[in-house]
């Protein structure tokens, strides 16, 4: 039996199988929009075998693999811990 494979090349994120088996990435709190290039995946298949799903992936250059981007010139928010007036720590968001 020959090894079954059906390898397709993807020219970019618009190719039909570019996102097969590529998980969507969770949003990073400091970023605020789905990357328009990779649609939130951060990477896509440059080549994928539709039988075994072995693949070669390309990292998105627009979001550097994060899947999410910062839009405009908004300050980046980071999570931090601060003390409430009665001395209890609580999560807060700090703007850089
Ligand atoms: Zn991207």
pLDDT one-digit tens code per residue, 19-34: 999 999 999 777 889 9
Q: How far is the CA of 24 from the centre of ligand 1 (A)?
A: 11
Q: How far is the CA of 28 from the centre of ligand 1 (A)?
A: 13
* Averaged pLDDT, 61-84: 80
Mean pLDDT of the chain: 88
Residue 15 lies in a domain: yes
Q: Look up the pTM and report it.
A: 0.69
Residue 2 lies in a domain: no
Query: 26 lies in which domain range?
Result: 7-95
For residue 81, the model assigns a pLDDT of 83
Residue 85 lies in a domain: yes
Q: How far is the CA of 75 from the centre of ligand 1 (A)?
A: 20
* Domain tally, the chain: 1
Report in angstroms the alpha-carbon separations of 86 from 27, 29, 42, 80, 90: 32, 27, 42, 18, 11
Give 40's pLDDT tier (boundaries 50, 70, 90).
very high
Of the candidate ranges 16-20, 59-63, 73-77, the one whose mean pLDDT is the lowest: 73-77
């Amino acid at each position: 039996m020959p090894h079954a494979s059906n390898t397709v090349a993807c020219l970019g994120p618009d190719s039909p199988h570019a996102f097969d088996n590529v998980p969507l990435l969770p949003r990073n709190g400091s970023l605020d929009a789905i990357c328009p290039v990779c649609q939130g995946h951060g990477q896509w298949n440059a080549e994928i075998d539709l039988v075994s799903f072995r693949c070669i992936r390309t990292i998105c250059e627009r979001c550097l693999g994060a899947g999410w981007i910062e839009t405009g010139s908004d300050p980046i928010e980071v999570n931090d811990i601060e003390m409430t007036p009665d001395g209890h720590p609580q999560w807060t968001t700090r703007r850089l």
